[in-house]
Amino acid sequence: MKKQFKILITEDAAEFSSERPEIFDEYGFTVEFCPKDGVKVLERIRQFRPDIVLMDIFMSSIDGLGVIKQLKGASAENLPVFVIVSNYDSQMLEHEALSAGAAYFVIKPYRLEDLLNRIAELLSYYHTDEDSSSGKILSLEKELEITVTEILHQIGVPAHIKGYHYLRDSIIMCVRRPEIINAVTKELYPSVAEKYETTSSRVERAIRHAIEVAWDRGDVDILNSYFGYTIHNGRGKPTNSEFIAMISDRLRLHNRRSA
């Protein structure tokens, strides 16, 4: 039987009922709505115990980041997965949200079905059946995905653009299969494109755009720590394959040292 997940949303229920209210049932979500008031959100989280909280960054009483910080300060265990919603496409707000502990930063307006797909992905990273025979493997996969996600956040790749997801999957593939970096156009891009039902050329362009955005808005010290030689020798940003290779090589080296 499909597991039911509980989701708390800081919106008016009437706003969501206009876009196929049964869609939540289709994705296996039990939904609770809450006013955009941080104090009330904290109360509902403690009462409802949701698996995921979809809340606005700007709310009365306490903002979304304050809610996360209060909950993390009280307990580091059994916290919901937080998705922060904003009306503004702001690098600073996104960085603050992710640094505070949000798993995702989404900008309005959004398509509800697309967002629920993303939320379902997030839940698959954070919820694993530990009793299953594949529990340990799934745990390791989850750990790798979380690590890559954190690296992309640090570098400054925006979480809401397509290239972010393509980059994450490309890096993970290269950690698992290092040889695939030598067949970027023939194997890597087509594999990512198949997963997202798009084309290899669109994957290539989206990844290039994501790297360009990171280079334009990212923290220079962090970029230097990952790609020092490409900054100091005047070559500018790394190519797609250089970016993917350097991150995946760094992860493999870290894994060998930890083994």
CB count in 10 Å sphere of residue 169: 18
- Per residue in 178-187, pLDDT (tens digit) is 888 889 999 9
Over the stretch 38-67, which tens digit does the pLDDT of each residue have? 999 999 999 999 999 999 999 999 999 999
More reliable by pLDDT, 138 or 179: 179
- Between these two residues, 150 and 43, which has the higher pLDDT value? 43
The pTM of the full predicted model, rounded to 2 decimals, is: 0.57
3-42 confidence digits (pLDDT tens) = 688 999 998 777 665 556 678 888 888 899 999 999 999 9
Pairing of strands 5-9, 52-56: parallel
Distance CA 105, CA 159 (A): 7
Q: Where are the alpha helices (DSSP H) in 75-199?
A: 91-100, 112-126, 135-155, 162-176, 189-196
How does residue 233 score in pLDDT terms, banded at 50, 70 and 90?
very low
> What is the number of other CB atoms lying within 10 angstroms of the CB of residue 163?
25
